[in-house]
Structure 1
Amino acid sequence: MSNLPPLSALHTFIEVGKSGSMKRAAELLCVSPGAVSQQIKALEDRMRVRLFERAHRELHLSDAGRSLFEQLSRAFEEIHHAWENTHAPTSRITKLTISTTASFANSWLAPRIGGFTKQWPNIEINIETSPRLIDLRRDFVDVAIRHGLGDYPQHAVTKLWTPAMVPVCSPGLLGSGPAVLEPVDCLQYPLLQDADRADWALWLRAQGIENASARRGSSFCDDALLIKAAVAGQGIALVSDVHASAEIANGRLVRLLRTPWPTNFAYYLVTNEDRSEEWKIAAFRKWMLEQVAMAENAEDARTDTPNASMSENDSELSSIASTPSVI
């Protein structure tokens, strides 16, 4: 006779661990909260350890529970994806969860994602924009799009493009002040800063300019807010045209100089190494690379015009970690 607990009890434990709530897990499993509680208690009695600690109406995994969760979640995920890959990809709706930053989702991904769902109507997209570090195994995220160095051990990493930053401001602000002909001329205006107050200093240093004023000015935690401040005429923002392209196209922002500074960071598509060729992930990766190539070709076609923009870029640094599972 097997000493293993029932598979249903282990599945219940995984759902409670993911949601941090017996009630939410019960709703997902279509059972009563009491049934979930009994399953967890039976599992704890059998293992003779406490799997959860209660705090502020939520359940948190104990040390023993976390160890069990990390091992079981991988096993259940493998079962789930083995079923998906065995089952015909076109025969049912499947979900694809993408983690990225709010700025990238708003300015680049959201306007284009309809093209992917048109190609793959059986793939239901879920875009998460939390800035926190994520664990691709525990958080059940299929794909992460990150702006970093590409150093993600034990993950499959595909480089999308290398970003560069450009200074932009409102036409009204530029029309009421001195001309901006060289990078140093930007210092004659208020500088709108990123959250770390690093981008302007680095960009000016790349142009051979060291100035204490490079770190002064209002700072914003998100590129979308930075762009809104620039549109409002509050100063010059150092952003990418992937975020400001719409505002540049409609004339609410103007690009000031043709002296971009490519950063040391790039955009990467990151997945679990053992899932990188799963059909829905492979389909999304192929589509992303096609979209990047199309955007770059469109930029190349515009480079001969006076108001041409630079290639697809981003000045936002997302959360980066080099641990095996957290990115």
Structure 2
Amino acid sequence: MTKPLPLLALRAFVEVGQRGSIKAAALALHVTSGAVSQQIRLLEERTGTTLFIRERHGLRLTEAGASVHPDLLEAFGQMERAVDRLVETGARQTLTVSTVASFAASWLVPRLGRFTRRHPGIEVRVETTSALVDLWRDRVDVALRHGLGHYPGLHTTRLMAPVLVPVASPERVPRLSGPKDCLDYPLLHGSDRADWPLWLAAHGVADDPRAERGSSFDDDYLLIRAAASGQGLALVPRIHAQEEIAAGHLVQVLDKPWPARFAYYFVTRPDAAELPAVRAFREWVMEEAGE
């Protein structure tokens, strides 16, 4: 009788071979490093073959290990895709989307009803965080990320690049004749404190140490709230502030929009990029971004 395949050991071998590290493989598999090491040892004992060579910065596949690793990697990929298809045959599908709170509140959530009406069989679960999620580990299907688009190993689609506009509370609207006058008032910053200096330079204002002074916030939603409460001038993406401006909670103090360095990107794992639910959500988001 043929022995059953040692699937746990094979999976551990694939992960270590792909990541070059017992620890990284353990994180991906949600087990301990000791458990991964044990599975590798069991597989080497069963096959009578050394599969890895330990080096200074991790593990390297032996010639024998490297000869079978691509086939096993593809085999597990096929099994995962088959399971995904089984899941998708259910009555409803759940799509987990991660993004920052400001983008979710000002842009994504107000539009989400249109996606639900178009795809009633897909339930969207929105998670907000300012941290960079690990799509391989955190059970997230899609991330709508704000950055430069450099996401190695992931499938990336550029959505849109928002423009930045200077805003303030309508109760404390400063008297400004041009961008340079902003330096006479408290400036509110994002976490990297880069936008005000870049915006001022783009509008011909010479370097000034006042451009980097003031409170900073790690999310545009908090930045908008600080500006609306009269704490100073904020430079924020217009798509985040337009609802507050329309409601009279904020005022755009100068008509000087400026392209942000960053853009919004649709990011997913390569193995999930063509799943029907992910593809449907990507097509819808791109359509909304185009409008």
- For Structure 1 versus Structure 2, the TM-score category normalised by the shorter chain is 0.7 to 0.9
- 8 Å contact kept, 2:96–2:141: yes
Superposed displacement of residue 217, structure 1? 1.1
1:16-27 counterparts in 2 under 5 A? none
Letter in 1 for 2:211: A
Q: How does 1:145-184 map to 2 (within 5 A)?
A: 145-174=144-173, 177=174, 179-184=175-180
Give the CA deviation at 1:259: 1.5
The answer to whether structure 1 residue 231 and structure 2 residue 228 are counterparts is yes
Kindly provide the amino acid, as one letter, of the partner of residue 223 in structure 1: D
Kept in 2: contact 1:97–1:142 (CA 8 A): yes
**Residue-by-residue CA offset, 1:182-223 (whole Å, 9 max, x unaligned):** 111211211112122221111111112121100011112221
Q: Which residue of 2 aligns with 1:79?
A: 79
| Contact 1:187/1:213, CA 8 A, preserved across alignment | yes
**Aligned position for 2:3:** 2
Alignment partner, residue 115 of structure 1: 114
Which letter maps to 1:112?
R
Identity %: 46
- Uncovered stretches (5+) of structure 2, i.e. residues with no partner: 16-25, 44-57, 60-69
Distance 1:257 1:46, change over 3 A: closer
What SS does structure 2 have at the residue aligned with 1:273?
Answer: coil
Q: Give 1:36's aligned residue.
A: none
CA contact (8 A) 2:100 2:219 kept: no
What secondary structure sits across from 2:286 in the alignment? helix
* SS of equivalent to 2:134: coil
Q: 1:81 to 1:204 in 2, by over 3 A?
A: same
The letter of the residue matching 1:150 is G
Provide, for residues 258-282 of structure 1, a one-character-per-residue CA deviation record: whole Å limited to 9, x for no partner.
2111123211111223432221111
Who is 1:320 aligned against?
A: none
**Matching of residue 204 in structure 1 with residue 185 in structure 2:** no
Structure 1 position 91, deviation (Å): 4.9
Among 226, 247, 255, which residue is 1:258 paired with? 255
Match of 1:141 in 2: 140
CA-atom RMSD in angstroms: 3.4
1:107 counterpart SS class: helix
Separation in structure 2 between the aligned mates of residue 126 and residue 199 of structure 1, nearest angstrom = 31
Equivalent in the alignment of 1:286? 283
| Maintained 8 Å contact 2:167/2:235 | yes
State the 1:250 CA deviation.
0.5
Q: SS at 2:136's partner residue?
A: coil
Aligned pair in 2 of structure 1 residues 228, 103: CA closer, same or farther (>3 Å)? Answer: same
Match of 1:269 in 2: 266
Unaligned runs of 5+ in 1: 23-39, 50-62, 65-70, 295-327
Q: 1:83 and 1:6, CA in 2 relative to 1: closer, same or farther beyond 3 A?
A: closer
Instruction: Give distance in 1, aligned partners of 2:114 and 2:228.
Output: 29
Contact persistence 2:197–2:211 (CA under 8 A): yes
Matched, 1:245 2:242: yes
- Give 1:4 deviation, angstroms: 2.6
Q: Contact 2:145–2:265 at 8 Å: present in 1 too?
A: yes
